[in-house]
Amino acid sequence: MKINKSGFLVFILSLIFIFNSGFLVVGHRGNPSKYPEETIQSDNSAFNDGADYVELDLHVSKDNVLVVSHDRDLARVIGSSVIVSQNNFSYLHSLRQPNGEPIISLDQLFEYYKDKPNTKFLLETKKTKHNNPKNMEDLLANSIKKYNMQNRVMIHSFSADSLKTMSKLLPDVPRIFIVGSLKRINFEVLSYVNGINISSDLITQNPLLIKQLHALHQKVFVWAEMTESPKLWNWLINNDIDGVVTNFPATGYKYKLAKAGTKKYSVDKDGYYYGRMPTTAMENPYLQISTKTNIKFLEKVHVSNAVISQGKTFYQIGNKAFVPADLISFDLQPEWLMPYWNLKIISKYPAIATYSEPQNNATKTGYLNANKKYQILGVNGGSQPSWIYTSDGWVKAKDILYYGLFNQNSIAFKQYAALKPSSKATNIVLPYTNFANKNQKINFWKHYKSVNAVIFN
């Protein structure tokens, strides 16, 4: 299929328009958990709760007016059976919903919101299997242009034919194909749509689907019988969706805020966990809800992705498991660490800074106590530990001294002796017993200077 240059440019611009915002929250039929669906009251509530878009459905009346309604038969919302396509709009508009609002047209909706630029709509064309009504797309395009809503609407539909028609009538308006079966997705459809609105069940059954659709330059919206269950929301946002159509926009907005400003990149490496105490994995790095998964000292993990959230880096070690990156190292091998693991460390200088993270640009949190021996709680590094975690924070390994290594009968010393020179630490303090009588009282810093002179001179 050939695409002319202008058409391709419009296609790219439409992608930029719709998807520069990141994770979109779409209020399904407004805010139906609070107010009657597809009413102005419900729509306003959705926007007030943080929805980026409100999703609404369209039918055509007997006299060719686009009517805002999910059902062709209004029995569920007004209490009596009235078929939209069999009645003129003047009659439909006289009918009242439970909150007292009338059934409205798309024009009336646009008229109400035309001076509220932050309100946007995802409009669904409701079509029969035979692609009826045939004039729906023309009516929709005319209404959008009449109210200059081109930059404030998206169109989605189960009807590929409807979206294909809209691609010709309004090529600059994004189009999203709703699917409940993978069989409906083909390259012809992908040539005139910008995204796929897909059942969450299909993603559960096909874990690589989102990545595959993104590779085909399609954005992925998810719809489900949405609840306020953290389990479902954590699963959704961990799957890199571009938008979610939900009955609970306030919940969606909470997760969007939590995820805002984050960055994610692929890692695909094996590493080891170097924390003395086990750590509990989280369902996501945004709200940090704990799972039942624990990782322990020297446990090998495969890191698929890294996420930077609120200034901290988290590693994804499973489909739904995230842990802080500080205590996982890809290059540091266990044998390079074990000679030092059960040693204490002391400050090499009187004022050694501690940090919030094992990074040079991390926030300084204080200083090591110069007269205290610290237990090693964790490490981070490469060919040898370059950062050490203590009860007072992270310290640079070059600023400390390992204390007690040269007891030549210890396993630690034998492990140290077996290391290659490049992996051997030289910042080592010999125990007091190597220099003086055990009963002799020794000034700490005097002893430090003597030890330092022996090791480094």
- Token pair, residue 89, equals 């709009």
Mean pLDDT by 10 residues, the chain (457 residues): 39 37 84 92 93 97 97 94 97 95 97 96 95 96 97 96 96 95 91 92 85 93 73 79 91 84 86 94 85 91 89 86 92 87 88 89 88 93 86 93 74 82 76 46 46 39
pLDDT of residue 446: 52
pLDDT of residue 228: 63
pLDDT of residue 406: 59
Report the distance separating Cα 99 and Cα 35, nearest Å.
Answer: 8
420-443 per-position pLDDT tens digit = 887 788 787 755 444 344 454 444
- Token pair, residue 128, equals 């029969």
pLDDT of residue 310: 78
pLDDT of residue 6: 41
HEC secondary structure over the chain: CCCCHHHHHHHHHHHHHHHCCCCEEEEECCCCCCCCCCCHHHHHHHHHCCCCEEEEEEEECCCCCEEECCCCECHHHHCCCCEHHHCCHHHHCCCECCCCCECCEHHHHHHHHCCCCCCCEEEEECCCCCCCCCCHHHHHHHHHHHCCCHHHEEEEECCHHHHHHHHHHCCCCCEEEEECCHHHCCHHHHCCCCEEEEEHHHHHHCCCHHHHHHHCCCEEEEECCCCCCHHHHHHHHHCCCCEEEECCHHHHHHHHHHHCCCEEEEEEEEEEECECCCEEEECCCCCCCEEEEEECCCCEEEEEEEEEECCEEEEEEECCEEEEHHHEECCCCHHHHHHHHCCEEEECCCCCEEECCCCCCCCEEEECCCCCCEECCEEEECCCEEEEEECCEEEEHHHEEEECCCCCCCHHHHHHHCCCHHHCCCCEECCHHHCCCCCCCCCHHHHHHHHHHHHHC
pLDDT of residue 204: 81
- Token pair, residue 195, equals 């995204």
Asked if 73 and 51 touch (Cβ cutoff 8 Å), the reply is: no
Question: In 10 A of CB 417, how many CB atoms?
Answer: 10
- Token pair, residue 36, equals 């009657």
pLDDT of residue 407: 65
pLDDT of residue 225: 62
